[in-house]
Each structure stands twice: as C-alpha cells, then as structure tokens.
Amino acid sequence: MERNCVACGMPMREPEDFALGDTSRDYCVHCMREDGSMQSFDEKRVGLAAFIVKTQGFDEIAALPLAEAMMRKLPAWAGHFKA
Ligand SMILES: [Zn+2]
C-alpha cells in the first residue's frame, strides 16, 4: 500500500517512511518533529525552502514562494491558503 504524505507529497511505501514508523500516520518522517508530531506550516515552509536552496540552487528569497506554491497543493496546508 502506498500513500502520499499530506504535508510534503512524498510517497510513503515502507514503514520507515512514515512518522515514527507508524503506518497509521498520514505524514512522513521528514515532516515530523523530534517528538513525532507534525511540523507546523512555518516549520515546513522554512524546511522546504532550505531543501529548494540546496537542491535547485535558488537563493532563500526566491525559494520561499516556491515552497509555498508546493504546499498549496498539499492537503495538510489547505487551511492556510483560504482567502
Ligand atoms: Zn512529508
């Protein structure tokens, strides 16, 4: 069974892809805090932007709106984009 993380869209296939290895969770190991809870909108936004800077060579100013554009498509953050 494969599910996509609600917070970043990553496909989760193995138990270790899920937060705390718990396949009943709907977010992945990259979207959890050290205590196993899901990261906040701002934590994920900053984390995603840093990932974009690292992997795509954008500067941070350019990466933040790109991170937001990615998050806009993900169910975990839908409430943050309501008008
Ligand atoms: Zn995730």
Beta-bridge mates of residue 4: 11
Whole-prediction pTM: 0.86
CA of 36 to the centre of ligand 1 (A): 12
Cβ atoms of 29 and 36 within 8 Å: the answer is: no
CA–chain centroid gap for 50, Å, is 12
CA of 83 to the centre of ligand 1 (A): 25
Residue ranges per domain, the chain? 3-78
CA of 51 to the centre of ligand 1 (A): 12
Q: Residue-wise pLDDT tens for the chain (83 aa)?
A: 689 999 999 999 999 999 999 999 999 999 999 999 999 999 999 999 999 999 999 999 999 999 999 999 999 999 998 86
